[in-house]
């Protein structure tokens, strides 16, 4: 074989190998970022929205005076006292509101190494083993957070939520990055530390337990509670009987918008319904095989895929009879066939808009792959991908809110009123 032919063969072989590698690379990227049903993969570039915490509110309301307690995973606020009328009253605590920030949490502790300060804290060089033995909750915080400051953990979806840590340590990686505060929590064992891992949530810096609740009693049987606790929204519904209040609900951003699966009327209620479903801790997951709405068909799993999730949001908020009928079927609308139904029920395509130009209540659609709902402020809500292979979700990472890291939709649909879709 001549030198020229050898060179040509070498070039062709090289190009072929590169092309095969390129195809494999593209396939891997597609699996990571698109996945089943075209859902986005949750990654570190997304701005995550905090998870709601399930809570129970109990107490008395007798002779127009009340005393309530909020309890839930990692949180307990007692002595929420107030008074009012026979049907309404306000109850408060005397705690102080701290600074609420977005947070990222990690864990450290024994067995010690030099990177973790060798078991000595930064504030007084005392033994962190002694802190653990005394049952004290200690954390490392960014330098802008003074030593001895209280840091209340929230939004991690773990038993740490509601727990108060005292700032006694620093760290080279314990900084504020992109308005996210990094806190390192002292834990007893490496198993406990590894199990906790790295989690996003929120933190209350300073302050103490506080609550401001407005309670409405309807027909002397039902009770609705809205307000705030430790700087976050509260919503709960329950019963009032013989002077006793028992209500269940949510604590966290957006909780005060209403109940978990309450029906509404219009695009605003549609957005709130979708947020509520997405934030219901470990309730609703992603599935393409079991995508029927559990509120419409008895015995259905609580899972959705991207299009059945949007169909359900439309159906349960009076956005068209077609969606109500579809939601009750074993196979609701898909990304391929939902557009004609949108048009028929008063939605109009307004172009392939950037997220900055999308409005709260817009539906973002790529007919070949995915659909979500715009919540405003650059945040979308949708069903994305099955992460754990089980019903529901184990870590609030299947049906969730996020700021998209890329522009993937090709159509933006906006509600204009019935019969005006084009």
Residues 176 and 234 in one domain: no
45: in domain: no
Residues 291 and 409 in one domain: yes
Domain-embedded: residue 47: no
Task: Clarify whether residues 295 and 362 are in a common domain.
Answer: yes
- Cross-strand partners of 192: none
Residues 275 and 402 in one domain: yes
Find the helix or strand (DSSP H, E) in which 213 lies: strand 211-218
What does the pLDDT read at residue 82? 95
- Count up the domains in the chain and report the number: 3
Residue the block writes with tokens 């109850």: 91
CA distances (Å), 382 to each of 15, 213, 359, in order?
41, 30, 15
The answer to whether the pTM exceeds 0.85 is no
Instruction: Answer yes or no: do 235 and 132 share one domain.
Output: no
- Dist. CA 332–CA 336, nearest whole Å: 11
- How many C-beta atoms surround the C-beta of residue 115 within 10 A? 10
155 closest CA partner among 50, 276, 47:
50
Q: What's the Cα-to-Cα distance from 2 to each of 10, 12, 272, rounded to whole Å?
A: 12, 15, 72
What own/partner pairs with CB < 8 Å and gap ≥ 24 does 109-114 have? 109/186, 109/187, 109/188, 109/189, 109/190, 109/192, 109/193, 110/188, 110/189, 110/190, 111/190
**Residue 171 shares a structural domain with residue 282:** no
Same domain for 394 and 296, yes or no, is yes
DSSP label of 255: G
215: β partners: 89, 225
φ and ψ at residue 71, rounded to 5 degrees: -135, 150
Q: Is residue 153 part of a domain?
A: yes
**Are 111 and 190 spatial neighbours (Cβ–Cβ below 8 Å)?**
yes
For the beta carbon of residue 335, count every other beta carbon within 10 angstroms: 19
| DSSP 8-state secondary structure symbol assigned to residue 354 | -
Extract the tokens encoding 258. Answer: 């209403």
H/E segment holding residue 307: helix 306-315
Count of other CB atoms within 10 angstroms of residue 19: 10
Identify the sign of the CA torsion 109, 110, 115, 117.
positive
Q: Which residues fall within 8 angstroms of residue 234, CB to CB, at 6 or more apart?
A: 55, 57, 70, 211, 213, 225, 226, 227, 228, 249, 250, 251, 255, 256
Which residues span the domain enclosing 285? 267-415
Task: Give the domain CATH number at 330.
Answer: 3.90.1720.10
Strand partners, 365: 371, 411
Report yes or no on 4 lying in a domain: no
pLDDT at residue number 158: 82
H-helix or E-strand spanning residue 91:
strand 88-92
125 and 84 both lie in a single domain? no
Q: Rounded to whole angstroms, how far apart are CA atoms 366 and 306?
A: 11
- Summarize pLDDT for 275-299 with one digit per residue, the tens: 888 876 557 899 999 999 988 887 8
Last residue of a domain, one of 189, 222, 252: 252
Q: What is the pLDDT of residue 348?
A: 95
**Can you list the residues of the chain whose pLDDT is less than 70?**
1-52, 73-74, 114-117, 220, 252-264, 280-282, 418-422
How far apart are the C-alpha atoms of 14 and 243, rounded to whole Å? 81
Q: Are 57 and 247 in contact (CB under 8 A)?
A: yes
Residues 116 and 217 reside in one and the same domain: no
Q: Are 293 and 304 in contact (CB under 8 A)?
A: yes
Half-sphere exposure of 192 (CA within 13 A, CB side): 13
């Amino acid at each position: 074989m001549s030198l020229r032919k050898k060179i040509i063969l070498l070039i062709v072989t090289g190009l072929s190998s590169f092309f095969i590698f390129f195809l494999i690379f593209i396939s891997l990227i597609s699996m990571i970022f698109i996945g089943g049903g075209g859902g986005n993969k949750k990654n570190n570039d997304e701005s995550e929205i905090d998870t709601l915490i399930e809570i129970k509110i109990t107490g008395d309301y007798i002779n127009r005076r009340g005393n309530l307690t909020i309890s839930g995973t990692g949180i307990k606020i007692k002595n929420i006292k107030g008074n009012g009328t026979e049907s309404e009253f306000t109850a408060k605590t005397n705690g102080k509101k701290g600074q609420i920030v977005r947070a990222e949490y990690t864990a450290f502790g024994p067995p010690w190494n030099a990177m973790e300060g060798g078991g000595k804290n930064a504030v007084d060089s005392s033994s962190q083993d002694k802190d653990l033995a005394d049952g004290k909750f200690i954390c490392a915080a960014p330098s802008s957070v003074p030593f001895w400051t209280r840091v209340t953990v929230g939004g991690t979806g773990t038993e740490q939520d509601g727990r108060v840590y005292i700032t006694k340590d620093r760290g080279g990686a314990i900084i504020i990055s992109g308005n996210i505060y990094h806190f390192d929590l002292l834990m007893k064992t490496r198993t406990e530390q590894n199990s906790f891992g790295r989690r996003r949530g929120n933190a209350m810096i300073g302050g103490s337990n506080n609550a401001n609740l407005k309670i409405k009693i309807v027909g002397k049987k039902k009770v609705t509670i809205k307000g705030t606790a430790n700087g976050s929204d509260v919503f709960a519904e329950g019963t009032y009987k013989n002077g006793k209040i028992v209500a269940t609900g949510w604590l966290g951003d957006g909780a005060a918008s209403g109940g978990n699966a309450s029906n509404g009327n219009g695009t605003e209620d549609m957005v709130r319904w979708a947020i509520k479903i997405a934030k219901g801790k470990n309730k609703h997951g992603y599935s393409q095989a079991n995508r029927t709405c559990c509120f419409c068909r008895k015995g259905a799993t609580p899972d959705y895929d991207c299009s059945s999730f949007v169909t359900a949001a439309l159906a349960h908020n009076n956005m068209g009879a077609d969606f109500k009928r579809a939601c009750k079927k074993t196979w609701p609308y898909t990304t391929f066939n939902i557009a004609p139904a949108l048009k028929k029920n008063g939605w109009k395509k307004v172009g392939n808009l950037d997220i900055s130009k999308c409005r709260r209540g817009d539906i973002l659609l790529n007919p070949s792959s995915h659909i979500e709902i715009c919540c405003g402020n650059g945040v979308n809500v949708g069903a994305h991908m099955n992460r754990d292979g089980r019903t529901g979700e184990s870590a609030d990472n299947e049906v969730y809110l996020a700021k998209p890291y890329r522009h993937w939709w090709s159509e933006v649909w906006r509600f204009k009123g019935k019969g005006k879709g084009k």
